[in-house]
Amino acid sequence: MELGNQRASGNVEDRRGMGMVGGGLGVGGIVIAVIAYFLGFDPGTAINVAQQVAPQHDARQAPKGTPADQMGQFVSKVLGSTEDVWGRIFEQSASQYRPPTLVLYDGQVRSACGMGQSAMGPFYCPNDEKLYIDLSFYRDLRTRFHAPGDFAQAYVIAHEVGHHVQKLTGSFRKLEQAQGRVSQAEYNRISVRMELQADCYAGVWGHHAGTMKQLDPGDLAEALAAATAIGDDRLQKQTQGRVVPESFTHGTSEQRVRWFKRGMDSGRPKDCDSFSTSAL
């Protein structure tokens, strides 16, 4: 990526090295379980973790701004790029984009959706509109999932920002409304549609990053490698040795790649409607 001229976002909360801090207001265990399932982590475990540890208020403030270290600078610029792109897109439809906060943490983190752990991978909490990432995930992406490269790292942020866009546009509500009212299999099907839409939104950002000359040749391949590596079918094969489509919450590698490319090709969020199509 070429982020030299990109404005770094100041919406980064650096909780690295602070242990467990941060205020939580309520438990949205089920939500965190679904959106955190990025690494083949068992959603059931995430729910338990979220429910066992009730969030408490912690008055210690994490510094918010732009971290000075290299990785901190990189994620701040990627976040800044998503703010610029989504800001313009929202403006075109006469609405205003409310940017999310990106929280950097080590090991464990308290969110308004319950406890987060690095093992869950990056996640978005709709209750506090923050995306949480332990940067050690990038090492996993490189070594465990064989998806190296800065654009693969940026894609991960853009995907979580995609969930934030869903919160702002209301599609997140589809998942919340289904909670406890439909069978687990049906709930998972809605979750897959949510995730594919977030992948497509990540592609929409990628499209505009390309127009802003922020992409290098080979960047697209990096994102596709990442999308392939984190498909449910691929992850299940790796972690359980078998594939159980009914338990998919994110979509297959092929689907994730296809929806990402769809957004990347068109650059228009309306082409990301994974909810009204019968062919995912």
User: Where along the sequence are the contacts to Zn ion (CB under 5 A)?
Assistant: 195, 198
E strand segments, 105-234: 108-111, 114-117, 123-125, 130-133
How far apart are CB 36 and Zn ion at their closest, in Å?
8
Nearest to Zn ion of 18, 196 (CB atom):
196
How far apart are CB 35 and Zn ion at their closest, in Å?
5
Instruction: Give the C-alpha separation, 202 to 198, whole Å.
Output: 6
Nearest to Zn ion of 8, 158 (CB atom):
158
Burial class from Cβ neighbours inside 10 Å (0-12, 13-18, 19+) for residue 212 reads middle
Instruction: Give the C-alpha separation, 42 to 151, whole Å.
Output: 27
How far apart are CB 6 and Zn ion at their closest, in Å?
24
Q: Which residues contact 116 (CB under 8 A, 6 or more apart)?
A: 32, 36, 105, 108, 109, 110, 123, 125, 132
Burial class from Cβ neighbours inside 10 Å (0-12, 13-18, 19+) for residue 248 reads buried
Nearest to Zn ion of 24, 121 (CB atom):
121
Element housing 158 (H / E) = helix 150-169
How far apart are CB 198 and Zn ion at their closest, in Å?
5
How far apart are CB 260 and Zn ion at their closest, in Å?
12
How far apart are CB 195 and Zn ion at their closest, in Å?
5
Instruction: Give the C-alpha separation, 35 to 123, whole Å.
Output: 6
E strand segments, 56-141: 64-65, 101-104, 108-111, 114-117, 123-125, 130-133
Nearest to Zn ion of 76, 191 (CB atom):
191
Nearest to Zn ion of 3, 193 (CB atom):
193
Nearest to Zn ion of 115, 125 (CB atom):
125
